[in-house]
Amino acid sequence: MRMMTLLALCCALCLSAAPVGRAAQQKPFHTEGVFSNITAGPEGDYGGMQVYLTDSDGQFYAVVTVAQGVLLPPVLVKVKADVEARRIEFELPGSDGPRKFKGTVTADGLTLEEDGERHVLKRKCYD
């Protein structure tokens, strides 16, 4: 009888630990974050883009910094976000009219498209 009780406890313990193991293997996903592909060229010129994506009471915003030789001033824009589909859209003001971006957020980064051009920004972790 004691052996059956120990066997049942062992099985119950193994079954209760199984979901924890699977959850630990998956990367957590958050729409919010910092995404960047800014790099410095051999002569010190910067290129790329950085997006800080956050939400405030259900409305998403992005602080976008574009690098074209130098880091341009950051711009705060409203973001249209579909959290379930992990899709975002925003516009940056430009001298030739607004620059329209559509993108997909993943656990690893943000992929943006602008006029058929694709930009891949890696998720950054700043402590």
The domain that holds 78 is classified in CATH as: 2.40.128
Q: Is there a domain that residue 14 lies in?
A: no
Mean pLDDT of the chain: 83
The mean pLDDT of 66-78, rounded to a whole number, is 96
What is the number of structural domains in the chain?
1
Question: How many other C-beta atoms are found inside a 10 Å radius of the C-beta of residue 96?
Answer: 5
Is 92 a residue whose pLDDT tops 60?
A: yes
Residue 57's pLDDT band (boundaries 50, 70, 90)? confident
Domain of 102?
33-124
The answer to whether residues 4 and 12 touch, using CB atoms and an 8 Å cutoff, is no
Q: Is there a domain that residue 90 lies in?
A: yes
Q: Is there a domain that residue 2 lies in?
A: no
Q: What pLDDT score does 112 carry?
A: 97
Task: Record the pTM.
Answer: 0.75
**99-105 and 75-82 beta bridge pairing:** unpaired
Q: Is there a domain that residue 9 lies in?
A: no
Q: Is there a domain that residue 20 lies in?
A: no
Residue 106's pLDDT band (boundaries 50, 70, 90)? very high
The mean pLDDT of 12-22, rounded to a whole number, is 48
Q: What pLDDT score does 102 carry?
A: 98
Q: Which range among 25-34, 39-48, 83-92, 95-104 shows the weakest confidence by mean pLDDT?
A: 25-34
Is 11 a residue whose pLDDT tops 50?
A: no
Q: Is there a domain that residue 21 lies in?
A: no
Q: Is there a domain that residue 19 lies in?
A: no
Q: Is there a domain that residue 1 lies in?
A: no
The answer to whether residues 76 and 87 touch, using CB atoms and an 8 Å cutoff, is no
